[in-house]
Amino acid sequence: MPWTRGELLGEGGYGRVYECLNDDGTICAAKIVPLRKGEDERAQAAQAEIEREVEVMKKLWHPNIVQYLGTERTAKELTIFLELVPGGSITSMLSKYGKFKEPIVRGYTREILQGLQYLHANKILHRDIKGQNILVDHAGICKLSDFGCSKELYGEVALTTTLKGTPQFMAPEVLRNQGRGYSEKADVWSVGCTVVEMCTGQRPWPEFSTNEAVMFHVAMRDSARPRTPAWVSKDCSDFLDACFARDPSKRPSVDELLKHRLVEEVSLASSRPVMT
């Protein structure tokens, strides 16, 4: 369908995201990725990752996941059309409004978990859960986005071994897996990091100035975990303790976390149970 490019919404390593107006009057987001044929291996790997992201998103349909709408390809660029989520990311909201009050944290956390529950039920790891990759619409509904790091799992023992994600949000088993692999429990650690981000207004591990320092600390210190803010409730503190269990076998699943007191009964109207 013909469309008209509008306002630039954001840009990253792979391309730019624009608001666009379709000729039928609908509005969506367009992620435009340049296709760089014949360039170095790094560019080729980035393009392959975008292609994998599209293949994953084609299979997803859930109210807490940004909806894939289609693609358009030319010789020079790939355009991915996505549901427009007008509220922006949690990270951008934190920069506007400051750290969130706990009722908002409770509601948003439930929304995030509901999206992850759907992914994990379909054997998909997100692998880059963080405020920047969670969009919020005007009704307060959170939607998981950016599936460039995601991974489909196969077989009875569903594990992956590749190092993917954002260091401040990565679980220790991801950083030190040494070929042993890791499971969907890595996303649970990242949820805990995102709760810390919402409660404080900044990413975990602000005391470290480089990604390498964070990665070394989390991988090598057996007690390393993001600090629980002193002002949160006991429910929130208990939730974070569960997410930050260093041993992933002792870390709860997303299904179990959805029964936790922090999110089981929330006041936000948007955070209602959904079908998986």
Q: Which residue among 40, 128, 137, 255 is the active-site one?
A: 128
Per-residue model confidence (pLDDT) at position 36: 73
Residues of the chain with pLDDT under 70: 1, 13, 37-40, 42-43, 154-163, 177-179, 267-276
Per-residue model confidence (pLDDT) at position 49: 78
pLDDT in tens, 96-107: 999 999 999 999
What's the CATH class of domain 88-258?
Answer: mainly alpha
Consult the annotation and say whether 59 binds a ligand.
no
Domain ranges of the chain: 3-83, 88-258
**Rounded CA gap, 205 and 142, in Å?**
24
**Rounded CA gap, 206 and 239, in Å?**
21
Q: What is the value of pTM for the model shown? A: 0.89
Per-residue model confidence (pLDDT) at position 136: 97
- 128: annotated active-site residue: yes
Consult the annotation and say whether 235 binds a ligand.
no
Consult the annotation and say whether 31 binds a ligand.
yes
Per-residue model confidence (pLDDT) at position 39: 63
Per-residue model confidence (pLDDT) at position 248: 94
What's the CATH class of domain 3-83?
Answer: alpha beta
Closest Cα partner for 172 from 227, 226, 129? 226
